[in-house]
Structure formats: structure tokens, C-alpha cells
Chains A and B, each alone.
Chain A
């Protein structure tokens, strides 16, 4: 009954690769090891103890931190350390087709792994019996929101004055059109062969989040992992700048 003449899908998929001077460029014109546009700001919200805003490509993500604060749910309380809770949420208007408000299985999983990605960096033992709450709001999604969320969350944690071993940075790599590439775009994520998001503590190189789906040979995996690590390092520099800019340094 309904015919879609020029669908949103078609609109986004007419992205054949360009071949320029021998090297194969990606659909959006980036080199294989090139990141999308990146912008990070710290201290963007009034009420939260710490906050940040991150744009990676067309992703727009807000993060807020409250805490350490009193924990009212006794069964969650840990006598010797704080707990870190995370809620990753997508705005209904953040995606092409409106998303129903509230958590779904995907956002619950991402919330869990985000908390686990941040956990090792935070000196939780300094605040026994309390909670540190991290809220991530995806205002616009364009592939790689979980990484953008983690990146934003660590800046918000730092902004809240929470002591940490490092600021966790996150970036994905993967394979698209037969090529291993850094920081997958939405199209590369959907149409590509593999996606490998990671989070790490750049100072030590410790990896705190690792997910993968798709298909990679072990050589490709290694290459993708190295690209993702390189991406995290680039992001890490921007995170530091964001904090320093806030205080006019």
C-alpha cells in the first residue's frame, strides 16, 4: 500500500568508494586510518556534578555524573568501595526511525559494558558505601555511540572531580568493503564485514572494553585492534584538551 520513492535507506547507501590516486578512500572520503570530526567539551550542564558533550562525526552525546553520593538501595551497597552505575539511553529522535522511549535490551547491555569499561579506571575504594552514577544520552546516533558515550562519560567523571587512574577513551575499528578501517561510520557499521569497539586506559594501554561482531582473519583482527588503539589515543588527547580548555589553560 505504501511505496517509498526515495527512501532514507537509498539516500544513505549511494556511497560507492572513491578511488583516488591509487589509494582506496572510504565512502565518506576518509583514509582507512582517519577519524571522523571530533569535538569534546567539559562542564556543559548546570546541575550535574560533572558533565561533557561529545561529537564524533554526526554522533552527539551528552554525559552527566552525579556522585559519589549516598546509595539508598542497600542490597547494592559495597562496604569497602563505591559502586559505579551507568545508564546509556537513546533519545527517541536520535535515529532515523523514532525509537520508543525507555531501555531496551541493547541499551541495557551497553549500560552494563560501559560501567565495566569505566570501573577499572576509578578509585572506587576511596568512597565506600556510596554510588557514582553515570548518565549517557545519545541525542543523535551515527554509528559508534557506545564509544562516544564512554569517551564522554570519562570526561564527565574527571569533571566531577572523581579520582581516576586514567581517562578511559573508546574507539572502534572494523572492516568495510574489504578494508580494515578506523572509527566506523554508520554506513560502514551496518554494511561492513566487522566491527570491533574497544575502550582503553591510554597511559598503560589496558583494554577495558572489547566487543566484536562480524568476521575477521587473525591478521585483520590484529590490524583492526591496532587501529582502534590508535583511535583511542587520538581521542584521549582531545579529552585532555577538553578538560584543560574548561579552565582556560
Chain B
């Protein structure tokens, strides 16, 4: 028996269903009951119940791309703050290969980098790398922090949301899966992006968001309003993506 409705906000310990239901992400099973472990939105798909959290910390996963800040230079490696309970390390070999060079010639404390999580070992040592397109040190721009669970919302279905923001503001925008967003463009446009991203974070749990963000952008940028029909569809499809 289902005790809640789809998209409803639930709290830790709340019983979501009794009997023949499967426990998905953000839930746990207590004998025959599926309960929420988080504050979040319920997503029911067939017999599987998940809860999409409204707030979370970034837990590094192999293959993720993240934005990190160099917090220390140690023997043959940089230490990075990746907005997570676990700090990351970038081995010198990732940058210099076998060559021996002074680390601070390449990157110094306070530098902000776009990196890939190469490995997370059993003691939660997070190894980062720079091999890949677009990875490396950022020059200029600003940083915005959002809760990592809202990253998919910011990106949107096949990048619909983020591309709309980029197109309208003519800013470069890079989103790390750890909830750190880098933006570079005209200073006033950077601020527009900041405002929009914060709005998306705050209203991520509401529906019709892409529409509202489009309106918001058009209003700020002072252009005529026009809506597209496929926005609604994107909204629905987006949720599917979140649950997977």
C-alpha cells in the first residue's frame, strides 16, 4: 500500500509504502515498510520508490568531473578542496609525467581547476586527474556553489537549462558534479548567471522551472518574451533522468 503521493515532500523516517514495494535511492527498508531516509521529493516508478534529496554533500565517484581549489602543496602532489567530506589529491605525475619540476610553477594554492575523479580508494583517498577535454586551470570568472543534488536540474534534460543560460548571457559556464559552478563572461552577465543559478537551486523542487527561468532571463536581459512548447515536456522527462 502506497502511503504518499508522487512528488510529495517527505522527511527522514516517514513511511512511504507498506508491502510489496522496492526501496530505491534515499529510502530504506524496515521489514515490510519502505521509509524515507532524507528530506526530499518522492518518486514512484512502478513498485520502486526513491527520494530525491533537497540537500546533500558531494561524495566523489570515479569518472565525475569536479571543480576543485588547491588548498595545499605537498610532496609530489597537490591537495584540493572539492567541496566534499573527502579532499582530493592531484599527483604531480598527472601534470608533469615523469619529469621532475617544482609544483608551484604549475599550480599554486588558491588556483581553481576543473578535474576528473580518477579513482576513489577504500580509505576514501580521492585521486584526481587532468587528462580530458576542457580540464585544467580556470583563469578569471566567478564561482557559484549549489547543493550537488541540484546539479542535474541546473544542467537540464540534455543540457537544455544550462545551454539556455549560456546562450542568453553569452557566458562560459562549467558545472562540476560537486556543486561548484564556474562562470566567465561580462561581469554584469556573470552576476545574472549567479542569480539564475541560485534561483534554480532554491526552486529545484518545483515544477515549471525551465519556463520560469526562461522568463526570468528574458526579463533581466530586457528582451521580448516568447515561450516554447517543448518546455513542459522537458520538465517531465527531466524527472525520469533524476531517478535513474
Taking Cβ atoms with an 8 Å cutoff, the residues of A that contact B are 49-50, 67-70, 79, 82, 121, 123, 127-130, 158-161, 163-167, 201-204, 239-240, 243-244, 247, 249
Contact = CB atoms under 8 A, between A and B. Distances in A.
Given A129-B86, A159-B55, A240 B11 contact: yes
Contact of A130 (B55, B86, B149): B86
Contacts of A239: 11
A244 B8 CA distance: 10
A244 B9 contact: yes
A108 to B, nearest CB: 26
Interface of B: 8-9, 11-15, 26, 28, 30, 35, 37-39, 53-57, 59, 85-87, 123-124, 147, 149, 205
13 contacts: A127-B85, A128-B124, A161-B39, A161-B53, A163-B12, A163-B26, A164-B13, A165-B30, A167-B12, A201-B13, A203-B30, A203-B35, A249-B9
* Chain B, interface SS category: loop
A41 to B, nearest CB: 14
Contact of A68 (B38, B85, B147): B85
* Majority SS at the chain A contact face: loop
A249 B205 CA distance: 11
Contacts of A249: 8-9
Contacts of B12: 121, 158, 163-167
Contacts of B30: 165, 203-204
Contacts of A163: 12, 26, 37-38
A153 to B, nearest CB: 13
Given A129-B86, A243-B9, 16 more contacts: A67-B57, A68-B57, A121-B13, A129-B85, A129-B124, A158-B38, A159-B39, A161-B55, A161-B149, A163-B26, A164-B37, A165-B37, A166-B13, A202-B13, A240-B14, A247-B205
A161 B13 contact: no
Contacts of A49: 55, 57
Contacts of A166: 12-13
Given A123-B37, A167-B13, A203-B15, A161 B54 contact: yes
A244 B11 contact: yes
Contacts of B26: 163
A82 B124 CA distance: 12
A67 B9 contact: no
B43 to A, nearest CB: 16
